[in-house]
Amino acid sequence: MNELGCFSQVSLGIYPTPLYRLDKLSSKYNINIFIKRDDLCGVGVGGNKVRKLEFLLADAINKKCDTIITMGGAQSNHAMLTAACSRKLGLEPILFLKARGVTSVEGNLLLNNILDTEVHLIDTDYSSEVEKEALDYAQYLEKKGKKPYFIPIGGSTPLGTLGYIKGAYELFSQAEEKRDMIDHIFCASGSGATQAGILAGAKLLNQETKVTGIMVSPEDNFHETIRVLARDSLQLIKKNIEIRDKNVHLVDYTGTGYAIPSKNGVDAIKLAAKTEGLILDPVYTGKAFGGMIDLIEKGYVKKNENVVFIHTGGVPGLFALKLK
């Protein structure tokens, strides 16, 4: 943890988030399935982006910025949480989101409105075009005397990744209190920093844990994205620990496409709700949980091993997408 101390952080979430065992599902599979509730971190409606924002927004404040610009899909949880966290710190949030699929103000778009956030809907399928619009706007604001700070998609920069190195420290120390070894960690992987940070944190702590990211969108070279993010975040804190390709475990459970509910994901949402009273989302955690269950059924995890699923948030998506 000392290594992270040299980086400014702002306190945004309520940590540690709860870690507990899903008893019914654990006994069904003879595996100890724990859940780490990063959706319950107490700002906005919670989610994994808050850990990254504790580092990113501290950087913005250090640089005397007054406006936070970020981007994402129409129902971006990252964008909504950036708006909520910016508001909490007295910074002005501005969001650039893909217009595709927006028919009404629901889910995160409703929350963005409640947070009184300036939203620009960009009519394109390409994140690169959304980013260009956002950066042009940042330049325009600078000319008007503002100090904008731009956060790339998902907050997945090496600095943002430090949030999940810290998250991994938190998780491993909770497990240690219970004298549990963690054999596997599963999380949804989108822009990569969550998985990369947990992987980097596990390496730093010499844990043998296998960290598996469940892909929920088709991404090119995603192994390399995760490996490089993990390595670069470790270099930021002056740790030259090599992250090898074979340390990056990814399994694709996208189904038809990003943000399109899949059968496997919807089944998992219903299973979690029915067995554990646990609510998952259709874009990330449902697909990731369904992927984990499928992998467990295929023997990816040994009997009596300890598994942690990271609940990364995303519940507003339930109120914007049809589950069928």
Ligand X SMILES: *Cc1c(COP(=O)(O)O)cnc(C)c1O
- 193 is an interface residue for ligand X by CB under 6 A: yes
The Cα 186–Cα 200 span in angstroms is 14
Task: Quote the CA–CA distance of 276 and 274 in Å, as a whole number.
Answer: 6
What's the CA gap between 82 and 53, in Å, rounded? 7
Q: Mark the segment that binds ligand X (CB under 6 A) among 21-29, 127-135, 243-251, 306-314.
A: 306-314
Residue nearest to ligand X (CB): 314
Task: List the end-to-end C-alpha distance of the chain, in Å, as a whole number.
Answer: 45
Contact range with ligand X by CB under 6 A, out of 113-121, 178-186, 258-266, 308-316: 308-316
Stretch touching ligand X by CB under 6 A, among 1-9, 82-90, 169-177, 191-199: 191-199
Residue 322: CB minimum distance to ligand X, A: 18
Kindly identify the residues of this chain, within the stretch 232-251, that bind ligand X according to CB under 6 A. none
Nearest approach, Cβ of residue 161 and ligand X (Å): 8
Nearest residue to 288 via CA among 324, 318, 317, 251: 251
Buried b (16+ CB within 10 A) or exposed e, 120-130: eebeeeebeeb
For this structure, is 76 an active site residue? yes
Which residue, among 53, 75, 68, has the nearest Cα to 121 in the 3D structure? Answer: 75
Q: By CB under 6 A, tell whether 163 contacts ligand X.
A: no
Whether the link from the prior residue into 218 is cis, omega within 30° of 0, is: no
Q: Which residues pair with 250 in a beta bridge?
A: 213
In the bound state with ligand X, the residue whose beta carbon lies nearer, of 148 and 192, is: 192
CB of 146 to ligand X, least distance (A): 27
The single residue of 8, 26, 27, 76 carrying the catalytic annotation is 76
Give me the residues that bind ligand X (CB under 6 A), please. 47-48, 77-78, 154, 156, 188-195, 281, 284-285, 312-314
